[in-house]
Chain A
Amino acid sequence: MTLMSYLGAIGAAQREAMDADERVIIIGEDVEANVYGTTGGASKSRAAEGDFLQRYGRQRIRNTPISEESIVGAAAGAAMTGLRPIVDLSYSSFLYMAMDQLVNQVAKNRYMFGGQATLPVVFRSAMFYGLSTGAHHSDRPYPMFMNVPGLKIIAPASPADAKGLLRSAVDSDDPVLSFEACLLWGMKEEVDEEEYRIPLGIGRTVRSGSDVTVVGVSNAVVEAAAAADAVAAEGISVEVFDPRTLVPLDVEGILGSVRRTGRLVVADPAHRTCSAASEIAAIVAEHAFESLTSPIVRVTTPDMQIPFSPVLEKQMYPNRVSIEAAIRRVLGVPKGGLPESARPAPALSPNPGDS
């Protein structure tokens, strides 16, 4: 085990994948100069041991022009003919520039050609939300892609998951979109430096608990764990569950937890309407309604664009405070108060008041 950051774990997974298989190549803007910190070596020097360009050369480290549509399409075409590209699209908002290729080619080619095409390709992008990057760089667009059959989606929320999930994504013979949260880039933990893989579709119980399940997505997992720790002192036992991948989704893991606790909060940094939280809430309502003792509460970003000023932006995403409030709401516990299990849950407040 070694102490590794989230960003370092992504770099380690890419290095492992490049070493393991010559068909793996990296395509993207600024990958040569390691601008985003996942294609570098031991130090910032280009001559440092492990620098991707030094190690793998320009044939496999493909610095691109700013042409997202063709980068994505070319990666798809390369995947259909024998390569296993990892595409670094840097900001998640840039995926929109390649929407036609992602939706009409990447997601559909295998199906509409009757299984003739195989697309082992990974599209990585980082969500720069919460960092005063303004409306064009703060997007969390994974729900749009959950609505496109044929894509797989990972959203790692820890360094260990980032490494293991990305290896599985590169191994996968299907196209995988990786949504990485910049807020987590600096997060550090002990990570196995040996190769390992986390299967897509298996979630992780971050905290075990018995009173309420909080399903978190991406950075909201960290906020949910903080909320769970905060209410633990009052004797409230919160189970925090991270599905880790949104497609495939660990439905059994989510339902199992809700059946044990009887209550559900879903914390998701995406916009509220048709969010991952909406889908998870609907699945639980359909399949575990009889286990629920209070209405499900979603904690999401309101259906509002993201403002620049830190003072304006801070309130937009699920955080420890809003998740804690949602936990109290499903339990009918006022702040500092005692459990009142008989008390009816308050009416759902309209968007944007999640809590």
Chain B
Amino acid sequence: MNETLSDVTLLEMQRRMLRIRRFDERAAKMVKRGQIPGTVHTSIGQEAQVVGACMALGPHDYMTGNHRSHGHPIGKGAPLGPLMAELLGKATGVCKGKGGSLHLADFAVGSLGESGIVGSSIPIATGAALSAMVLGNGRVALAFFGDGAANQGCLYESMNLAGVWKLPVIFLCENNQYALSTPAHTVTSGRIADRATGFDVPGIRVENGQDVLTVYGAVSEAVGRARAGSGPTLIEVITYRYNEHSEGLRLASDYRDQSERERWLAADPTILFRKELLRSEVATEAQLDALEQEVLTEVEDAVRFAEESPYPDPAVAFEDLYAEPAGVRA
């Protein structure tokens, strides 16, 4: 157990992991019932990696996400109601119903948005780090991306730029081992973390991405380096998604081995950390049960808020394109 962390922080880690789990379980169910338009990509199974990274950041630090990204704003502390309302396309959604599951963003917690284009938000986080450096505000930025995005050129352009400018940015690869159906090892030459070496940037591989404290430790070190002016870090975290690539997706071929999935299910981050909290006497069974119940209630409240919220006025579709009205003759 990490001795520098308070019990409050440790319990908050478990709370945020459970929020992600229950939120995404609920969202998956709502997709199946047709209550959420389109589909969603859940973070179920990857909670430790999300929360470990997010909680290593401060409240004012920046973060960008990807297509599998409900967990990122939740991990950063965003309230659940506006996120769920966004999935339902409601007026009270965090993006007013214009973004949906693929484009959640909550700038109030430093979540600069998710990208439906694989790898595309990596340069955005790099730019947020540039801004932090020029403005001298001490903030850092973190880009979440998957093993699939690790083969996009913009990662290497960004890593080079960040390396040469010593930008306070963390490139966090959530290696869940599959780019949709494609096993990462069949399309990825070498280890992703090792690619940092060529840029003279630290490259860290976290084998146990199901342990929130291990991820927290690795990201905290990188954040420390970034704040100290020592530049970027690439962190590859090995993890696994329990659900299909997206909800409702039915693929003819069985690209994942069942025994592999079972092995990873046995390393459920929310269960592992619950055991750890008990073992280290941070909390009792009763306290942890109460925490689970609180989170369930929170998620149900978010669902109710979303369901009871109105749909946006159709006129809203024509707002927010520009900050200033497209200036024409008066």
Contacts and interface: CB of A to CB of B under 8 A. Distances in A.
Interface in A271-298: none
A60 B154 contact: no
Contact of B127 (A75, A112, A115): A75
A76 B326 contact: no
A110 B121 CA distance: 14
Nearest to B113: A113
B121 A105 contact: yes
Contact of B324 (A116, A172, A202): A172
B94 interface: yes
Given A114-B93, A200-B327, A100 B128 contact: no
Interface in B78-123: 93-99, 103, 105-107, 112-113, 115-117, 120-123
A82 B165 CA distance: 18
Interface stretch (A65-73, A129-137, A226-234, A300-308): A65-73
A201 B327 contact: yes
B249 interface: no
Nearest to A107: B321
Given A25-B134, A80-B112, A114-B320, A248 B326 contact: yes
Contact of B158 (A73, A82, A120): A73
A99 to B, nearest CB: 11
Most buried by A among B64, B95, B164: B95
Interface in B157-187: 157-158, 160-161, 164-165
A115 B120 contact: no
A109 interface: yes
Given A69-B154, A110-B323, A114-B320, A251 B94 contact: no
A77 B125 contact: yes
A101 B120 CA distance: 7
Nearest to B322: A174
Interface in A87-120: 100-101, 104-105, 109-120
Given A81-B131, A113-B95, A252-B329, A70 B123 contact: yes
Nearest to B94: A114
Contacts of A72: 123
B126 A77 contact: yes
Nearest to B97: A114
A332 interface: no
Contact of B157 (A67, A115, A173, A247): A67
B124 interface: yes
B315 interface: no
B320 A252 contact: no
A211 B128 CA distance: 54
A113 B122 contact: no
Given A70-B157, A114-B96, A114-B99, A77 B130 contact: yes
A95 to B, nearest CB: 15
A69 B123 contact: yes
A115 to B, nearest CB: 4
Contacts of B323: 110, 118-120, 172-174
Interface size class of chain B, counting residues whose CB lies under 8 Å from the partner chain: 35 or more
Contact of A59 (B113, B134, B158): B134
Interface string A246-278: 011011110000000000000000000000000
Contacts of A81: 62, 112, 127-128, 131-132
B120 A117 contact: no
A117 B326 contact: no
Interface string A47-76: 000000000000110101101011111111
Contacts of B106: 116
B326 A201 contact: yes
A329 interface: no
Contacts of B93: 114
A70 B153 CA distance: 9
A119 B127 CA distance: 12
A101 B328 CA distance: 27
A333 to B, nearest CB: 32
Interface residues of A, number: 55
A64 B161 contact: yes
A173 B326 CA distance: 11
Contacts of A104: 115-117, 120
A113 B107 contact: yes
Contact of B134 (A65, A78, A253): A78
Contacts of B123: 69-70, 72-74, 76-77, 101, 105
A78 B160 contact: no
Contacts of A201: 326-329
Given A100-B117, A100-B120, A74 B158 contact: yes
A67 B328 CA distance: 35
Contact of B124 (A82, A105, A199): A105
A110 B115 contact: no
Contact of B329 (A23, A77, A150, A202): A202
A176 to B, nearest CB: 11
19 contacts: A69-B157, A70-B160, A73-B124, A77-B125, A78-B134, A80-B128, A83-B130, A100-B117, A101-B120, A101-B123, A112-B103, A113-B98, A113-B99, A116-B105, A118-B323, A201-B329, A247-B326, A250-B329, A251-B328
Interface of A: 23, 25, 59-60, 62, 64-65, 67, 69-83, 100-101, 104-105, 109-120, 149-150, 152, 172-174, 199-202, 247-248, 250-253
Interface of B: 62, 64, 93-99, 103, 105-107, 112-113, 115-117, 120-135, 137, 141, 153-154, 157-158, 160-161, 164-165, 319-324, 326-329
What 10 A-B pairs have minimum CB-CB distances, sorted nearest first? A73-B123, A77-B127, A114-B95, A74-B127, A70-B157, A114-B96, A173-B323, A67-B157, A77-B124, A248-B326
